[in-house]
Amino acid sequence: MSVQDREALGKLNSSVRLVDGHYEVGMLWKHENPWLPNNRMTAVARLRSLKRRLCTNEQLCCKYRSFMDDLLTKGYAQKLTEDEAAARSSRTWYLPHHGVFHPRKPGKIRVVFDAAALHDGVSLNSQLNQGPDLTVCLVCY
């Protein structure tokens, strides 16, 4: 394991905490205080596009709504208060998402959260370290 991987693993381990029966892990920022440009307008444009798509495809709309309700019910996501929604920091980033169906899994939706979405040449992914590769190389043996 490289020095960089050991450092990333150390950051991950030190950021793990148990909150309400769920584990939280910190983000592996490349810089201590990253600055993300305000991508609200880009995210709103993507949301409008998603809304048009949901309005024209009833099956997609039902599956998408079910997926989002499930996220809220399980506590994986939560609605923001007005104060939380109005707050802005250098780490505020709106994460666009969209739904896709696999041809061989017609009844199952997969919602893709797009951390690679660009705004002013910046993406959330570009501000994060990749993290350690903890997979075992099967070809090496």
The beta-strand segments (E) located in the chain are 17-19, 22-24, 97-102, 105-113
Residues 126 and 44: their CA atoms lie apart, in Å, by 21
Average pLDDT over the chain reads: 89
Query: Which pLDDT band holds residue 9 (cuts at 50, 70, 90)?
Result: confident
pLDDT tens-digit series, residues 62-82: 999 999 999 999 988 999 999
Nearest C-alpha neighbor of 107 from the set 53, 55, 63, 65: 63
